[in-house]
Structure 1
């Protein structure tokens, strides 16, 4: 018999906010400024990772001299703040799932690979801060996703056991983090994709609108 779900932990990018296209724009622009032509597929290969991990990943492959990795991280974050404030919009079904979980007294948290600066930018833009009991960033963890730390800390802050938490994710790294945390994990991969990795999840759905209260039982 599976454990009763008492809390839902949301990823943010590509799950709460339609930000994956914005991340691609920010990364492609930032890398172009230092002489590299990035593609959408290159950006997709690191989706769900912390931005410092993304930059470190590409530095290992490309080995540029300047700017420093930290400077490039800050450049990308600043570009993202601009993109979110100008173009940010919620993913379909966000209002529906928040209302559904509230009606059923389910606690909610955000556990994101993004920095607190970007999380605050998003929740202010979408006006959703009041609905979440916990907001946590992987920048405060030693390791980002697929390490489970960000989800385990969120559960601890909620006062819930991992087995009583359900994770909502859109990326492979995020799904693996949820599974590594021993949490029931539902994935909503980017539209028009049907990735092989999603088969490891508890369920794959197309939109937050497809979330059913039965998934908590």
Structure 2
């Protein structure tokens, strides 16, 4: 049986990746870093501090510290996501599907808790989740397994009996390293990327998740 289902959030449940990318472009422009969407996409799934370090290693800047840049990104992203973010296709239906099975649900996200809560409120999904957990509360962010292991521990669930949904390569590494079965839901631009081959199942959108896929996953837990 499945003891718990854990969902990433950005890019999986909520269409926030374009917002994060534009926020990053706007904030890095203040220190004259010529950031591009393509560079942002390369780092999808990293926490903010790791993302800022990733950019600094490629294009070091002066005038603001990495901490200042990270704080500006988080503050601006919180405002824009809370007001503008929309659900990903199939996200509410997939969440409700598992809730109808009486399986405990959790969020395991690289975003801070205030952004997680703002998204769940905006999408009206908070009542379906038993808990939401941020990797910022753990020693290490994705791609390390800490956030998934921490969420499973808080749920009282065996990680090996958990199912995780992820849209990014770094997030998928995190869930696989935690020993969970995984459903990868990559963005269209990287759907064929072999980094998603480690997933138990790969689908192009949560709209494709159905009873047949659920039955296939159940077989793997026996």
Same fold (TM over 0.5): yes
Q: Matched residues in 2 for 1:37 and 1:62: separation? A: 8
How many pairs align?
Answer: 214
Task: Provide the residue aligned with 1:125 in structure 2.
Answer: 122
SS in 2 for 1:76: helix
Task: Tell me, yes or no, if the aligned pair for 1:8 and 1:165 is still in contact at 8 Å.
Answer: yes
Task: Provide the residue aligned with 1:80 in structure 2.
Answer: 77
Give the 5 Å matches for 1:63-212. Answer: 63-193=60-190, 194-211=192-209, 212=213
Q: Matched residues in 2 for 1:216 and 1:15: separation? A: 22
Gaps of 5+ in 2: none
How big is each residue's C-alpha offset from its partner over 1:18-70, in whole Å with a ceiling of 9 and x where there is no partner? 01111110111111111011111100111001001111122223232221111
Task: Provide the residue aligned with 2:31 in structure 1.
Answer: 34
How big is each residue's C-alpha offset from its partner over 1:140-164, in whole Å with a ceiling of 9 and x where there is no partner? 1111111000000000111100111
Q: Matched residues in 1 for 2:34 and 2:18: separation? A: 16
Task: Tell me, yes or no, if the aligned pair for 1:9 and 1:111 is still in contact at 8 Å.
Answer: yes
Task: Tell me, yes or no, if the aligned pair for 1:146 and 1:175 is still in contact at 8 Å.
Answer: yes
Q: Matched residues in 2 for 1:172 and 1:150: separation? A: 15
1:94 Cα deviation after fit: 1.5
Gaps of 5+ in 1: none
Q: Matched residues in 1 for 2:117 and 2:99: separation? A: 21
1:97 Cα deviation after fit: 1.0
SS in 2 for 1:99: helix
2:46 to 45, 49, 53: 49
Q: Matched residues in 2 for 1:86 and 1:176: separation? A: 30
SS in 2 for 1:124: helix
Task: Tell me, yes or no, if the aligned pair for 2:148 and 2:178 is still in contact at 8 Å.
Answer: yes
Task: Tell me, yes or no, if the aligned pair for 2:31 and 2:62 is still in contact at 8 Å.
Answer: no
Normalising to structure 1: TM-score of the pair? 0.94
Task: Provide the residue aligned with 2:214 in structure 1.
Answer: 213
How big is each residue's C-alpha offset from its partner over 1:78-115, in whole Å with a ceiling of 9 and x where there is no partner? 22122213321111111211221112111100000011
Q: CA RMSD in A?
A: 1.2
Q: Matched residues in 1 for 2:63 and 2:21: separation? A: 21
Q: Matched residues in 2 for 1:140 and 1:90: separation? A: 25
